[in-house]
Chains A and B, each alone.
Chain A
Amino acid sequence: MKQILLITDGCSNVGMNPVTAAAHAYAEGITVNVVGVLDQGDLGEAGATEINEISKAGGGLSRLVHTKELARTVQMMTRKTVMHTIQNAVHKELKQVLGDSSLESLPPEKRGEVVRVMDELGETAKLRVALLIDASASMKPKLQAVEEAIKDLMLSLQSRQGESELSVFHFPGGKHGEGAALDMGWTRSMKDIPALFSRLQMQGTTPTGPAIMEVIDFYRKDDYGRGHRDDMDGLRSDYVV
């Protein structure tokens, strides 16, 4: 399972529309979640709409939170998304077998068995999460909370039975203020997390769309390198009736 989790506090203002970029991600089997962090005021209707739209196009969730709720939100969103990805796959199977995709259409006794398999998958399926952090100037006071949230997420991922990896990007990155820069490649354990943002130069623009595209590209190269098939498909044929 592949996820991108975008943490931002404003509207994109450079390059490709982030909603289109998120739709690209979803088409490649990557779910996009978005957390909007706001401490004073709000990020305006346009910002809230954009966040919601990105997550919809990316098949994921979105939430607006204060920095003190960030760690908890990131952790819960990741977990919920894992369960939804599995639910979607199971619903497709149910539809084929029963002609109805809802769990409620099964009698309670059968439901138990299906959910047991879903829970087992949620715990054991391979999971990769790429965090994409908005590092425009207004995010500066929030980066410490972001760093705490990253460590907290790593702690939760490490506790899963399935293989779990985390990577971190920030944007804008690169010389021309376009796209995203990699801060940490795929990492499996807490002790390998470097001090992430201590030397980060905060810049003005917010190229959310191009940054998402760059993370998609990162996933693509990675998959090519590992020669992996889609993880969910592999698991589905093993487990579900």
Chain B
Amino acid sequence: MTWMGCGVTTSFDLRLARGTILYGKWHGGRYEVQRLLGEGANGKVFLVSHRGRSYALKVGADAADLQSEINVLRAITDTKSRSGEPFLVHVDDFTHYPGRDYCFYVMQYIQGSSMTEYLQREGSEWYSLLGVHLLRQLAELHQEGWVFGDLKLDNVLVSQYGRAHLIDYGGVTAIGKSVRQFTELYDRGYWSAGSRRADPAYDLFSLAVLLIQVMEDRRLAQLLKSRDRSVNALLALVKESVTLAPFGEWFGKALSGGFNSAREASAAWQSRYRTRSSARQRKKSGSRWLFRAFAVSVLMLAATAIWYLNV
């Protein structure tokens, strides 16, 4: 979005060619730009190399906005540092050619694709595992008193073996405050299903819309055209869909604030998955399919185990 008016950057047209070296103004790090990874309303993210490793570097369009994202990442990284490497690596500024300073932070690079691309490439057996990973991350955030806020297709990257990661912490909001950033399609208020005050159910609502969207993109688009924006319309869509129907009860609860926590929602999601896969196994066989199903359930088991150990 571009804005006209006072004191606002009218657009953010920073371009950094491959091979550009950025020097941190305060801490002196050296980052070599490889390519643009993506951009959004708040900035641009570049793949950079630093001391022989790859990282993602986000340049903010607005210093204050980027800083509040950094504040959140700091708070989260502090509480999570025991479980492996921190996500947030460095924070600094660089000066670019016309003499302007840009704020940036450096985070871990997540090599992955969008949920829709992943499912298209690897098959829809991986669908429920994506849900497991997202629910686990939401549960961790909620436990620390935060809500993710802007959960949407763009803000999830899926790496190997269906590992779905939340990226873009610009919408993360302390529980009880008003959600800092949201996208209409996934917003509880937009569907007249509740407030914009941050609570765990807000994220679960967005997740439900996202999990509908990745399977039934067309039907969802049709629903939006019909202008019947309601939870009931979404649930009718779930019922009509072969893939989603088995999760009907789960969607019903997630869309109406029926889960008390992401952990509860996670348990319900996984039990759906187990009953569904055993029902399918009886009907269908085929070595490749069986192998995949086996791989998926091993991964699910691992994910569950790791989760219980962590939380």
Contact = CB atoms under 8 A, between A and B. Distances in A.
B143 interface: no
Nearest to A31: B6
B71 A123 contact: no
Interface string B104-129: 00000000000000000000000000
A217 to B, nearest CB: 24
A118 interface: yes
16 contacts: A52-B4, A52-B5, A61-B3, A61-B4, A61-B5, A61-B6, A84-B8, A102-B63, A111-B63, A118-B68, A119-B68, A152-B190, A155-B189, A159-B196, A161-B176, A161-B177
Contact of B195 (A102, A107, A158): A158
A108 B91 contact: yes
Contact of A59 (B6, B184, B190): B6
B178 A161 contact: yes
Contact of B189 (A112, A152, A160): A152
A29 to B, nearest CB: 15
Nearest to A115: B67
Contacts of B4: 52, 55, 61-63
A76 B26 CA distance: 33
A62 B101 CA distance: 26
A159 B92 contact: no
Q: Chain A: interface residue count, which band?
A: 20 to 34
B178 A123 contact: yes
B71 A88 contact: no
Contact of B6 (A60, A72, A119, A159): A60
A83 interface: yes
A104 interface: yes
Interface of B: 1, 3-8, 26, 63-64, 67-68, 70-71, 74, 91-93, 101, 103, 176-179, 184, 189-190, 195-197
Nearest to A108: B91
Give the interface SS of chain B, mostly helix, strand, loop or mixed. Answer: mixed
Contact of A108 (B5, B7, B26): B26
B229 to A, nearest CB: 10
A55 B64 contact: no
Contacts of A72: 184
A103 B8 CA distance: 14
A115 B71 contact: yes
Contacts of B8: 61, 80, 84
A56 interface: yes
Contact of A112 (B6, B70, B184): B70
Interface in A55-85: 55-56, 59-63, 72, 76, 80, 83-84
B177 A123 contact: yes
A156 B189 contact: yes
B6 A116 contact: no
Given A108-B91, A155-B195, A159-B195, A103 B67 contact: yes
Contact of B71 (A55, A103, A116, A152): A116
B92 A108 contact: yes
Given A63-B3, A103-B64, A159 B178 contact: yes
B264 to A, nearest CB: 24
Contact of B3 (A80, A104, A119, A155): A80
